[in-house]
Structure 1
Amino acid sequence: MATSLDVDGFMNAFLRMTNRRGVPIQVVSDNGTNFVGAANEMKKLLKAMEGDVQRRAADKGIKWSFNPPAAPHFGGVHEALVKSAKRAIFAILAGAEVNDEELATAITGAEALLNSRPLTYQSADARDLLPLTPNHFLYGHQGQPFVPKGTDIVPHSHRYRWRVVQSLVLQPLVRAKTK
């Protein structure tokens, strides 16, 4: 989650992502000023290094590719994933009022949902193997959200706001099972 759309906001979000998932080999993005600024900032950092340090850092360099200006259709697959992420977040929040911490929790719920989607054909035959998901590559298993059922008698207790977010994350999963 980026707190702003400037270079600093993106760089902080990018560093959080690389701390969790590792440094990517390639980044493909549109020509947003925050992305172009971040790519330029990384180039400046690499030029500032000297000798052996620069050679070692170059091995971990990121190839940054930009889509042509005014051509969002060039982003095909990753634009479809952005669309899926937005839909998952909107389905979880569904107009709820949340603070930044609760929003971050809802976003990780959407991440878990997207990373558990099948990457291959899913057979209707129960005897067939489970299809691969992104979680298989990230964690070695399909993954499932840890969202225990709430025990509050009064829904949306202000004392336990985490349970409000928990119920928000559960709602799309419950709706999907009832369809």
Structure 2
Amino acid sequence: MLLTSWLLDKITQTCVVCHWNNWNPVQQQQAILPVSCVTPSGPPFTCTGTDCFGLFNVRQGRKHLKRWSCLFTCLATRAVHLAVLSLLDSAAFLNALIRFSACCGTPQRIRSDNVTNMVDMDKKLPTAAASWAKDESIKSDFLRRSIDWVFNPPAVSHMGSVWERQIRTVQKVLQAIIGSQVLDGERLHTVFCEVESIANECPVTPISDDVGDLEALTPTHSLRLETRHDLL
């Protein structure tokens, strides 16, 4: 009896069909979400993730220039802001950050991959902020605030899944609009604004089939709500 049971166990362990028929599903262990991703109490882009992607060929007269894009996404509402980069250096990224802060407000925390231009940017940011604070002509408060910059560990791309997924959405829309066309700089800025609007209309809650239910929430709702609060 013991010999028979031993043989059955051995056959079951080595049989592929038995493994397929008797396997038990593994329960995925979910990690605790970061506080910045589950705390929507602050204004949009309070906690922001950023990354650069491209390349885009731009026509200027008879010349063909290279352009890149910098994406800023709110970690809580998934709102998206796109900026055009003429170069992939710290100065270009600093200008993109200033334009983003002027349009959407200065974030309290920025998360990004550990790439060269952003690491160098973090070193230059305190010096630039100090020079802005001494300039009396610059009265915007966001230039005087410090930004908590958090870099993901090297070679850990899954920690940036929020902005990586948004980049995939943006690239899909860009491919559908631009395709193989070569645009000039003015049209590229226009297309980026259109793509930003489309990406911010993506629902973040399930869409109901019942016409009597409320519409699904999108990042645009949070952006419009913040605009109304500013006007009030």
TM-score by length of 1: 0.69
Query: AA paired with 1:27?
Result: I
Stretches of structure 1 that go unaligned for 5 or more consecutive residues are: 51-55, 142-179
Which residue of the partner structure matches residue 127 of structure 1?
A: 212
Q: Which one of 110, 113, 130 corresponds to residue 198 of structure 2? A: 113
Are positions 1:85 and 2:170 aligned together? yes
Deviation for aligned residue 1:106: 0.6
Q: Which one of 86, 107, 113 corresponds to residue 3 of structure 1? A: 86
Distance 1:49 1:15 in 2: 11
Query: AA paired with 1:109?
Result: E
Which residue of the partner structure matches residue 34 of structure 1?
A: 117
Note the alpha carbon deviations across 1:63-120, whole angstroms, 9 max, x for none: 1011111221111122111111111112211111211110111111110000011111
Stretches of structure 2 that go unaligned for 5 or more consecutive residues are: 1-83, 134-140, 227-232
Distance 2:215 2:202 in 1: 11
1:1-179 counterparts in 2 under 5 A?
1-46=84-129, 60-140=145-225
Contact 2:101 2:142 (8 Å CA) reproduced: no
Normalized per residue, the structure richer in strand is: 2
Q: Which is worse superposed, 88-97 or 4-13?
A: 88-97
| Alignment CA distance shift 1:24-1:57 (3 Å) | closer
Deviation >4 Å, runs of 4+? 46-50, 56-59
TM-score by length of 2: 0.54
| Alignment CA distance shift 1:48-1:72 (3 Å) | same
Distance 2:142 2:102 in 1: 16
Normalized per residue, the structure richer in helix is: 1
Query: AA paired with 1:42?
Result: L
SS at match of 2:149: strand
The structure with the largest alpha-carbon Rg is 2
Distance 1:140 1:48 in 2: 34
Contact 2:152 2:159 (8 Å CA) reproduced: yes
Distance 2:160 2:132 in 1: 33
- Aligned CA RMSD, in angstroms, stands at 2.6
Distance 1:42 1:76 in 2: 25
SS at match of 2:101: helix
Deviation for aligned residue 1:131: 1.1
Query: AA paired with 1:7?
Result: S
The alignment-based identity, stated in percent, is: 32
Query: AA paired with 1:63?
Result: D
Note the alpha carbon deviations across 1:148-171, whole angstroms, 9 max, x for none: xxxxxxxxxxxxxxxxxxxxxxxx
Query: AA paired with 2:112?
Result: S
